[in-house]
Copies of this chain bind each other. A is one copy, B any other.
Amino acid sequence: MSTPPSLQALINALKVLPGVGPKSAQRMAFHLVQRDPAGAVQLAQAIIDAQGRLQHCRLCNTFAETDVCEICQDEQRNHSQLCVVEMPTDLWAIEATRAFEGRYFVLMGRLSPLDGVGVNDIALRPLISRALDGEIEEVILATNFTTEGEATAYYLSELLRARGLKVSRIARGLPVGGELEHADPATLAQAVIERRDKP
């Protein structure tokens, strides 16, 4: 007795999803076939649609359905600041704050030698040419404060400073409303080291 081939194929195909092992893939396959045929059809269609429609914005490299994304098309935005993030989600998170008026560049990853992600696997070359468009004055590095994000920020700042650009890094410190007692020691240490003059 074996699993029907088309069911096994579906289970195998689901295993390409990040974080999905054999057991979850099986559970997902059963769910799609047994409980939610309509959702399954929708999922298949959504994959095909996304594949067909999504591209990377020619300027900022984020996902877009057009050659140039909405933000890059917006002439109202500050042309002199470029905020570099790892993923589109980071861009959306910063946009949601309404604290940044400039443009973005999305690396679509981070340097992570241990995972085999080197300087040729993220969008470094497009970033360099974007940053050197003549309008950009300041590049704000907004990669994550993880080991990989920090390494990426370090590498980029060396690269961009060597080309005469002003490079800054988003601030690290206690969260708004944060209490010293509950801050982790590394964050608290950084908040002390990177203290600013009280205005």
Does A89 contact B6, Cβ atoms closer than 8 Å? no
What is the interface size of chain A, counting residues whose CB is below 8 A from a CB of the partner?
A: 58
User: Is A125 interfacial (CB 8 A cutoff)?
Assistant: no
Query: Shortest Cβ distance from A36 into chain B, in angstroms?
Result: 5
Known pairs A41-B51, A48-B44; A17 contacts B32 (CB<8 A): yes
Does A50 contact B33, Cβ atoms closer than 8 Å? yes
Does A39 contact B53, Cβ atoms closer than 8 Å? no
Does B70 contact A6, Cβ atoms closer than 8 Å? no
Known pairs A3-B92, A5-B65, A49-B10; A54 contacts B28 (CB<8 A): no
User: Is A40 interfacial (CB 8 A cutoff)?
Assistant: yes
- The docked-state distance in angstroms from the alpha carbon of A87 to that of B7 is 14
- 8 extra interface residue pairs, beta carbon distance < 8 Å, beyond A1-B70, A7-B50, A20-B28: A1-B69, A3-B63, A3-B92, A4-B65, A6-B49, A16-B32, A16-B39, A33-B50
